[in-house]
């Protein structure tokens, strides 16, 4: 006979599986309609459950949105790491390419990110949760600049690099009259241009520092 602990573990696992199924449904809805038009009834219908059932797993719509977005960030982090590992001679190029490719393919994560960046209201706990995982991405970008300047400078460079790549996505992701392949190719080219400018700027900065010694 199974022990109480085993039953408890199975119950927790089942609850986690149901939460993941709801997040899966939410992502499908986010991908199919404008983010601001999504509501909990849409997600419940997609998941095949009642509207009230969702609230057993997520206290409100914002909590569900944040969990879905956190899943995306957790997916992109290893992709960037793997891309950089494969291309150690041009890590900024590799990181830019992986970041742009992921958010172009998984456009619903990009919609969520811009929603939160542009003033989507969050309670303090959710805001801190979002900030915590966001810092992981900035830490990863900061690592690309390690040894190039001071700790403070590296953090600023990471912010600037992140903002620049987001600018490319905001400006060109829905560019009219071009195929998705053409748009992605163009954005990745711009990502490489940005990476090159950062690389050139850091080399120049390093030369200036050497010249003062």
> What are the residue boundaries of the structural domains of the chain, listed by start?
1-58, 61-212
Structure confidence by residue, pLDDT tens digits, 24-61: 999 999 888 877 788 899 999 999 999 899 999 998 88
Tokens of 202: 């850091």
Angle between helices 151-172 and 107-117 in degrees, nearest 10: 120
User: HEC states along the chain?
Assistant: CCCHHHHHHHHHHHHHHHHHHHHHHHHHHHHHCCHHHCCHHHHHHHHCCCHHHHCCCCCCHHHHHHHHHHHHHHHHHHHHHHHHHHCCCCHHHHHHHHHHHHHHHCHHHHHHHHHHHCCCCCCHHHHHHHHHHHHHHHHHHHHHCCCCCCHHHHHHHHHHHHHHHHHHHHHHCCCCCCCHHHHHHHHHHHHHHHHHHHHHHHHHHHHHHHHHC
Mean pLDDT is lowest, of 59-63, 90-94, 97-101, 122-126, for: 122-126
Predicted confidence band at 204 (pLDDT cuts at 50, 70, 90)?
Answer: low
Q: What is the pLDDT of the chain when averaged over all its residues?
A: 86
State the virtual CA torsion across 97, 99, 104, 106 in degrees, nearest 10. Answer: 140
The hierarchical CATH code for the domain 1-58 is 1.10.10.60
Give the pTM: 0.83
Q: Who has greater pLDDT, 126 or 83?
A: 83
Predicted confidence band at 9 (pLDDT cuts at 50, 70, 90)?
Answer: confident
Fold annotation for 61-212: Tetracycline Repressor; domain 2 (1.10.357)
Q: What are phi and psi of 3, to 5 degrees?
A: -75, 160
């Amino acid at each position: 006979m199974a022990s109480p602990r085993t039953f408890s573990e199975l119950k927790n696992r089942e609850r986690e599986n149901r939460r993941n199924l709801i997040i899966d449904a939410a992502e499908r809805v986010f991908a199919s309609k404008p983010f601001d038009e999504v509501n909990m009834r849409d997600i419940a219908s997609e998941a095949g459950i009642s509207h009230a059932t969702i609230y057993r797993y997520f206290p409100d719509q914002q909590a569900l949105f944040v969990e879905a977005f956190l899943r995306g960030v957790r997916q992109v982090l290893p992709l960037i790491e793997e891309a950089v590992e494969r291309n150690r001679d041009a890590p900024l190029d590799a990181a830019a390419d992986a970041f742009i490719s992921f958010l172009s393919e998984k456009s619903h994560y990009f919609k969520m990110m811009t929603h939160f960046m542009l003033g989507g209201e969050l309670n303090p706990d959710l805001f801190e949760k979002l900030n915590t995982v966001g810092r992981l991405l900035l830490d990863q970008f900061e690592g690309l600049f390690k040894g190039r300047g001071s700790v403070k400078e590296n953090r600023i460079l990471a912010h600037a690099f992140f903002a620049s790549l987001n600018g490319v996505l905001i400006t060109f992701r829905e560019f009219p009259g071009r195929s998705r392949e053409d748009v992605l190719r163009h954005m990745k080219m711009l990502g490489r241009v940005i990476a090159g400018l950062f690389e050139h700027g850091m080399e120049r900065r390093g030369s200036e520092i050497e010249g003062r010694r």
